[in-house]
Structure 1
Amino acid sequence: MAATFGEFLKQLRERNGLTINQLAALAGISGSQISRIENGVRGVPKPATLRKIAEATDVSYEELMEQAGYLPDHDQGSSETAIPEWATVKDKRDFRKMLEDDGELMFDGIPLNKEDKQRIKDVLTGLFWEAKQMNKRKKPGQDSGSDL
């Protein structure tokens, strides 16, 4: 098993007999982005990029999300084990509040079973922590507009 997502992606690409440029063309992303991921220069791709790679390599999106660390391994119990080290007490409280909302989840008017609910919570967990981390990168008072 690969130690990093970059190593996993390289093994996946090579197993499919693809060059970096071929995978890039199939996934609709740049070859340099794939190279940076494989070489550990760039971190784990966003879920939207993982979806493109999954479709290009005929690997399940769920497997890529798991390999990238967005979803816990199936052997792990709770999603809360995926809480990042940088999370504050407030972040953890917000996270628990999100997971504890026991409103009925439905699709097309049909209630979801326990397994499907857990899958949704796992995906939401990854997206929650990604959004929290992105918000922490923004400096207070930072304005996207220019001063006139």
Structure 2
Amino acid sequence: MAEEFGNYLKRLREGKGLTINQLASLAGISGAQISRIENGLRGVPKPATLRKIAEATDVSYEELMGHAGHLTESQSSTGGTGGSVPAWATSKDKRDFRQMLEDDGELMFDGIPLNKEDKQRIKDVLTGLFWEAKQMNKRTKPKHDSGTKE
């Protein structure tokens, strides 16, 4: 998967007419990191890094998440959520953190109002943690299978 994503990133970068150093500068990450990603020497980037690359290349974040394997095809087409809400969820449970952070309404943490930059930083961290947890769950799921062997 890392090599496939690396090839995709290289094609994307070259298609935009960017050098490794130009992309690195635009994304705020090191050229060495981009080179390692493109050459398959580094694993698939974390969602926070993908967001930076998406913004630098003007490609949708969801598209990069899909190519990186963080989203399934159905999640990519539904904005990452898969569209399913558990039956036990109440109206309070159904609020979307991302939407809350993107809305213009005032949010506070520990009694301190959050400005736009705070909200973006929190959204980036939560996105990274969420998709990292999803990946970890994928890797550990077969262990909890009902005794079947693959």
* CA deviation vs aligned residue, 1:87-141 (integer Å, no higher than 9, x gap): xxxxxxxxxxxx85742412579xxxxxxxxxxxxx98733234569xxxxxxxx
In the aligned structure 1, how far is the partner of 2:21 from the partner of 2:88? 45
Instruction: Report what 2:142 is aligned to.
Output: none
Letter in 1 for 2:30: S
In the aligned structure 1, how far is the partner of 2:38 from the partner of 2:20? 10
Q: In structure 2, list runs of 5 or more residues that go unmatched.
A: 77-84, 101-127, 139-150
Instruction: Report what 2:60 is aligned to.
Output: 60
* CA deviation vs aligned residue, 1:62-104 (integer Å, no higher than 9, x gap): 000000000001399xxxxxxxxxxxxxxxxxxxxxx857424
Q: In structure 1, list runs of 5 or more residues that go unmatched.
A: 77-98, 110-122, 134-148
SS across alignment from 1:74: helix
User: Which residue of the other structure, out of 95, 113, 129, is the alignment partner of 1:106?
Assistant: 95
Instruction: Report what 1:4 is aligned to.
Output: 4
Aligned CA-pair RMSD: 3.3
Matches within 5 A, 1:89-104: 100=86, 102-103=88-89, 104=91
Letter in 2 for 1:126: W
* CA deviation vs aligned residue, 1:2-28 (integer Å, no higher than 9, x gap): x70000000000000000000000000
Over 3 Å counting, the alpha-carbon distance change for 1:52 and 1:101 in structure 2 is farther
**8 A contact 2:50–2:65 mirrored in 1:** yes
Higher relative contact order (CA 8 A, sep 6+): 2
**8 A contact 1:71–1:125 mirrored in 2:** no
Aligned length: 98
Over 3 Å counting, the alpha-carbon distance change for 1:16 and 1:130 in structure 2 is same
In the aligned structure 2, how far is the partner of 1:46 from the partner of 1:101? 31
Over 3 Å counting, the alpha-carbon distance change for 1:38 and 1:102 in structure 2 is farther
Over 3 Å counting, the alpha-carbon distance change for 1:132 and 1:16 in structure 2 is same
Instruction: Report what 2:25 is aligned to.
Output: 25
Please report the TM-score for the alignment, with normalisation by the length of structure 2. 0.55
